[in-house]
Amino acid sequence: MLFHVRMDVRLPHDMPEEKAAELKRVEKARAAELQQAGTWRHLWRIAGQYSNVSIFDVRDNDELHAVLSMLPLFPFMQIEVMALLRHPSSIRDGDR
């Protein structure tokens, strides 16, 4: 099942830079693992914001929640999720 997920990151202003840098490093590595596994299919930065729009390919809502809640930056994210269904007019066979 595909999900469109917008993630807005809000790190505390008083977080030490070293801690923020380590969180970002671990987050980047986890994102790469999920992309290589095919779970995190697309990842786009939103210009001018500490935000992204992503497409996740998971079994169901529960798996998506598990994946998102295990991200290192999850405690500092505002997340908006939209379930996606293949449009009947889509010419892309790989879309589901």
pLDDT tens for the chain, 96 residues: list them.
999 999 999 999 999 999 999 999 999 999 999 999 999 999 999 999 999 999 999 999 999 999 999 999 999 999 999 999 888 888 887 666
Predicted confidence at residue 90, as pLDDT, reads 86
Q: Domains in the chain, ordered, with CATH?
A: 2-84 (3.30.70.1060)
Q: What is the pLDDT of residue 96?
A: 62
DSSP three-state, residue 68: helix
Q: Which amino acid is at 6?
A: R
Burial class (CB in 10 A: 0-12, 13-18, 19+), 24: middle
- The pTM for the full model equals 0.91
DSSP 46: P
Contacts of 14-17 with CB under 8 Å at 24 or more apart are: none
pLDDT of residue 81: 98
